[in-house]
Amino acid sequence: MNSIIDYIKIRDPNEKEFHQAVFEVVESIKPVIAKNPIYTSQKILERMIEPERTIQFRVPWIDDQGEIQINRGYRIQMNSAIGPYKGGLRFHPSVNLSILKFLAFEQVFKNALTTLPMGGGKGGSDFDPKGKSDREVMRFCQSFMSELYRHIGADTDVPAGDIGVGAREIGYLFGMYKKLNNEFTGVFTGKGLKWGGSLIRPEATGYGNVYFASEMLNTKKETLEDKTCLVSGSGNVAQFTIEKIIELKGKVITVSDSSGYIYDPEGINKEKLQFIKELKNVKRGRISEYATKYPNATFTQKKENETYNPLWDHKADCAFPSATQNEINEQDALNLIKNKVQLVSEGANMPSTPEAVKIFLDNNLLYGPGKAANAGGVSVSGLEMSQNSMRLSWDKNEVDRRLKDIMKNIHKTCLDASKQYGYSNNYVAGANIAGFTKVADAMIDQGLV
Ligand code: NDP
Ligand code: 2IT
For the chain, the structural domain boundaries read 51-187, 204-373
**Ligand 1: lining residues by beta carbon, under 6 Å:** 161-164, 166, 205, 233-238, 257-259, 322-324, 347-349, 374, 377
Closest ligand 2 atom, residue 118 Cα: 9
Q: Which residue blocks in 2-96 are alpha helix, DSSP H?
A: 2-11, 16-28, 30-35, 37-41, 44-48
What is the phi/psi pair of residue 71, to 5°? Answer: -120, 170
Distance 222 CA to ligand 2 centre (A): 29
Same fold for the domain at 51-187 and the one at 204-373? Answer: yes
Does 270 participate in catalysis according to the annotation? no
Confidence check: pLDDT of 132 > 90: yes
pLDDT at 278: 98
* Nearest-angstrom CA–CA distance, 440 and 277: 41
List the residue whose alpha carbon is closest to atom 9 of ligand 2: 87
pLDDT at 294: 98
Contact, 237 vs 276, CB < 8 A? no
% residues pLDDT > 90 (the chain) = 99
Question: In the 8-state DSSP scheme, what is residue 52?
Answer: S
Domain 51-187, CATH homologous superfamily name and number: Leucine Dehydrogenase, chain A, domain 1 (3.40.50.10860)
Domain 204-373, CATH homologous superfamily name and number: NAD(P)-binding Rossmann-like Domain (3.40.50.720)
Q: Which whole number is the average pLDDT over 112-117?
A: 98
Cβ–ligand 2 distance for 59 under 6 Å, the answer no
Confidence check: pLDDT of 163 > 90: yes
Q: Which whole number is the average pLDDT over 296-315?
A: 97
pLDDT at 296: 97
Q: Which of 91, 170, 378, 386 to mutate to test the pocket of ligand 2 (most atoms within 8 A of CB)?
A: 378
Confidence check: pLDDT of 405 > 90: yes
Q: Which whole number is the average pLDDT over 97-119?
A: 98
- Band (pLDDT 50/70/90 cuts) for residue 243 is very high
* Nearest-angstrom CA–CA distance, 287 and 249: 23
List the residue whose alpha carbon is closest to atom 38 of ligand 1: 162
Cβ–ligand 2 distance for 162 under 6 Å, the answer yes
Confidence check: pLDDT of 226 > 90: yes
Q: Which whole number is the average pLDDT over 16-28?
A: 97
Q: Which ligand is nearest to the CA of 381?
A: 2
List the residue whose alpha carbon is closest to atom 20 of ligand 1: 258
- Band (pLDDT 50/70/90 cuts) for residue 380 is very high
Q: What is the pLDDT of residues 136-153, one digit of tens each?
A: 999 999 999 999 999 999
Closest ligand 1 atom, residue 94 Cα: 18
% residues pLDDT > 70 (the chain) = 100
Q: Which whole number is the average pLDDT over 151-163?
A: 98
Distance 285 CA to ligand 1 centre (A): 15
Q: Which whole number is the average pLDDT over 120-133?
A: 98
Closest ligand 1 atom, residue 204 Cα: 40
Closest ligand 1 atom, residue 239 Cα: 25
Average pLDDT, the chain: 98
Q: What is the pTM of this model?
A: 0.98
* Nearest-angstrom CA–CA distance, 419 and 64: 57
Q: Could you say which of 86, 110, 122, 371 is catalytic? A: 122
pLDDT at 3: 86
Q: Which whole number is the average pLDDT over 229-243?
A: 98
Q: Name the burial class of residue 271, with classes exposed (0-12), middle (13-18) and buried (19+) by CB atoms within 10 angstroms of its CB.
A: exposed
Q: Which whole number is the average pLDDT over 182-195?
A: 97
Q: What is the pLDDT of residues 64-74, one digit of tens each?
A: 999 999 999 99
Confidence check: pLDDT of 117 > 90: yes
Q: Which whole number is the average pLDDT over 253-260?
A: 98
Q: Is 90 left (phi over 0), alpha (psi -120 to 50) or beta?
A: beta
Angle between helices 270-277 and 236-247 (to 10 degrees): 170
Confidence check: pLDDT of 356 > 80: yes
What is the phi/psi pair of residue 132, to 5°? Answer: -90, 150
- Band (pLDDT 50/70/90 cuts) for residue 2 is confident
List the residue whose alpha carbon is closest to atom 10 of ligand 2: 378
